[in-house]
Chains A and B, each alone.
With several copies, the nearest count.
Chain A
Amino acid sequence: MSIQIRVENFSGPLDLLLHLIKSHEMDIYDIRIVEITEQYLTIIEQMQQLDLDVAGEFLLMAATLVHIKSRMLLPVSEDVGEEEEDPRAELVKRLLEYQRYKDVAELFQQLPQLERDIFLGQFQLADFFEGDSEENEVAIGIYQLADAFHQLMKDQPVESFHEVVRESLSVATYIERIVEKLTEKIRLSFREFFSAEFSRNELIVTFLATLELVKMRAVNIEQVDAFSEIWLALSIPPDQLSQISPEKDLLGYE
């Protein structure tokens, strides 16, 4: 009989054990541990002979059974005041609990299931409202968030971060920063741009970026008197600023 038992038909050692108990018509509260251990070990052995990859969990259960068997064989000491627990107790508890969920699992299988037994209307509102279709938006939770980060990090070389920050010293990036600041404040003095903390290279790039913006007619430079403060101001409405970005590639300063 046991020859037909294959480990992959069981979702785990508890499943296998339950099967053995049932097929030997044992009472789950009074498992004949010697017999069941023997049966269990035979199956495990056969599986190993068949060169099956016997999962660690099945071996662990084998060890548990052997341990319970040995405790059952020990003579019960009469002097002990408290009643000793049946060595099988924990296993029985686990088996009963497992049996419950196994039953529920079978019931789940029988419940009418969406897309298998029950179907929804396929009417798509988006077909009507062209234009505001939402590029495959999905509802997300913590898992999706963590998964997204996990996926991104899988492809990243370790700690390549700091270099990047330094490398971002491109004219395009600085154009964006200037625009960002100008969107906030509309008018800014030159001095506010050229912060004292700037490195030489950054000063140059910031300057080039400013010139580029002037060339694109996105920014005006104003100076009231010679040597007085130089002011930068946006010359186009902020909502048109996005049109600046496509030209980034054409800059060629990088």
Chain B
Amino acid sequence: MNNLRQLVEAFIFASDGPLSLDRLSVLTEQPKALIRPVIEQLLQDYAASERGFYLAEIAGGYQFRTVAELAPWLRKLSKDRATRFSKAALETLAIIAYRQPATRAEIEYLRGVDSGGVMKTLLDKNLLRILGKKDVPGRPMMYGTSRHFLELFGLRDLNDLPTLKEFAALDPEMIEADPLDPEPVG
């Protein structure tokens, strides 16, 4: 199909969320093997030219987004829909992002404070999701981050999170000691 590029571009542009290769394959009725090179080409084209927006890889899919450098200008559109996070909310989000599936008890042990209210706020904002129940006595709920979390922070997937080791690198003493097991990222 000659216009596959056009069609793929239009689908990505018109979708309200990132579109995965699988989804694009279904929508365009074309095999993934044909779509992949089209995407590659689009990624390159948008990266090469100085455009106001570019094709980003987000949450396992593709989405057009404005470039970060223009942020101060674009804020003038004064949509002010930005989510503002408290320190507590970001800490909780960080713990869950790295340790998922995480139970409330784990989060509260790590933070040293009750976190029910913060977790509820994050759930309401659709940044967390319930992953089921843990197979331990009491069967507590397990939490993880949502797709919306990836979209909000512009992450491709959970492996795109900065590794905790990189963090330790900021503080040389911590690397030497490294008393904690690096947490596998789910």
Mark A residues whose CB is within 8 Å of B. 11-15, 28-29, 55-57, 59-61, 92-94, 96-109, 111-123, 125-126, 128-129, 132, 134-150, 152-153, 156, 160-161, 164-165, 168-169, 173-174, 176-177, 180, 195, 197-199, 202, 245
Contacts and interface: CB of A to CB of B under 8 A. Distances in A.
B161 A12 contact: no
Nearest to A29: B177
A109 B90 contact: yes
Contact residue range for chain B?
A: 35 or more
A174 B138 contact: yes
A174 B51 CA distance: 58
B82 interface: yes
Given A93-B179, A140-B85, A150-B164, A101 B91 contact: yes
Contacts of A146: 94, 130, 161-162, 164, 167
Q: Is the interface of B mostly helix, strand, loop or mixed?
A: mixed
A115 B81 contact: yes
Interface of B: 10, 13-17, 53, 63-66, 68, 71, 74-75, 77-79, 81-88, 90-91, 93-95, 97-98, 103, 105-106, 109-114, 116, 123-124, 128-130, 132, 136-141, 146, 151-155, 160-162, 164, 167-168, 170, 173-174, 177, 179-182
A202 B136 CA distance: 11
Contacts of B83: 113, 115-116, 139-141
Contact of A164 (B105, B138, B141): B105
Nearest to A95: B112
A98 B112 contact: yes
Contact of A61 (B14, B112, B123, B179): B112
A120 B161 CA distance: 21
A105 B180 contact: no
A145 B90 contact: yes
A150 B167 contact: yes
Contact of B14 (A105, A112, A125, A136): A125
A173 B105 contact: yes
B91 A105 contact: yes
Contacts of B111: 11-12, 14, 98, 101, 152
A11 B14 contact: no
Contact of B98 (A114, A125, A149): A149
